[in-house]
Structure 1
Amino acid sequence: MKTVLPWLAAVCAIGLVVGAAWVGVTYLPPPTPAADRAAPPDPFAPPETAPLKPDHDYVVLIRAVEVAPKGPGDKTWERGFDDGPDLAYDLSWRGNVIFTSPVAEDTLIGRWEAINVDVWNSVQNGGNVDLGQALNNGAVIRTPPAPKRGKGENAPPPATDGSAGVLTVRVWDSDLFDNDEAGTVNLLLGDLTEGDNELHFDGGEAGAIRRLSVRVTDREVPIRSLIEMLRAP
Structure 2
Amino acid sequence: MQHRPSSDLPSSADSRQTVPDAATPGRARPRRARRKNARPGELLDAALDLFVEKGYAATRVEEVAARAGVSKGTLFLYFPSKEDLFKAVVRENMAGRFAEWKLELDAFEGNSAELLRQCYAVWWERIGSTKASGITKLMVGEARNFPALAQFYQQEVLQPGTALVRRILERGIARGEFRPMDANTGIYLVLAPMLFLSVWQNSLASCQPAGDAAISPRAYLDAQVENLLLGLVPRA
Which structure's relative contact order is higher, taking Cα pairs within 8 Å and 6+ residues apart?
A: 1
Q: Give yes or no for TM over 0.5.
A: no
Greater strand proportion? 1
TM-score normalised according to structure 2 size = 0.24
